[in-house]
Amino acid sequence: MKTVDRSQYLICVVMVAVGGFLIVDALRLTAGFAKVDPVGPKFFPIVIGIGLILLAVALAVAIERGSVGQMEGGEDVDPDSPADWRTVGLLVALFVGVIVAVQPLGWAITGALLFAGAATILGSRHWVRNLVIGTVLSVGSFYAFYSGLGIPLPAGILDGIL
């Protein structure tokens, strides 16, 4: 008699929940800013949501048949070391800060702070370089979305300048 680690089913539940959320949220979308999109804004979220649900079912079947995940094979990974909750907490705080600040400050500023902050939290000590690269990435993605895709990101306090 095989024993099944039932805790693995939590991943299946999360995958079904995220897939269901994507499908429901996509069905509520209306035609967006980009009028040149032949498939519309609903197509890809629905496809990804259905894919997540199908993969969750496949994973549940594999778990029931006794399949278990393999240990990490990387030589730089110590499975016995504790999690770095400080880094995780700082990254979560950074993401929450971006969510709060993106509307008033705009994407160019919050994106630069996001990229530079994440690099610094993950160990880079070149603060000026992090900020320069973050600024290039955020301004570049701002214009890529606006000019390339026709999707305006929030300009915030730089409205009229960008």
Domain borders along the chain are 6-65, 97-158
Left if phi > 0, otherwise alpha if psi is -120 to 50, otherwise beta: which for 160?
left
Whole-number Å distance between alpha carbons of 134 and 23:
32
Residue 75: its pLDDT value, please? 64
How far apart are the C-alpha atoms of 43 and 137, rounded to whole Å? Answer: 27
On the question of pLDDT at 124 being above 60, the answer is: yes
- Average pLDDT in the 85-103 region? 95
* Distance from C-alpha of 3 to C-alpha of 20, rounded to nearest angstrom: 30
Packed helices 107-121 and 127-143: angle between N→C axes, nearest 10 degrees: 140
Q: 29, 42 in Cβ contact below 8 A? A: yes
- Cβ-based neighbours of 33, under 8 Å, separated by 6 or more: 150, 151, 152
Residue 90's pLDDT is 96
Q: What is the mean pLDDT of residues 88-107?
A: 95
Percentage of the chain surpassing pLDDT 90?
A: 59
Predicted pLDDT of residue 56: 96
Look at residue 146 in the predicted model and tell me its pLDDT: 86
Q: What is the model's pLDDT at position 72?
A: 62
Question: 64: pLDDT confidence band, cut at 50, 70 and 90?
Answer: confident
Q: Which 3 state secondary structure label does DSSP give 142? A: helix
Evaluate if pTM is beyond 0.85: no
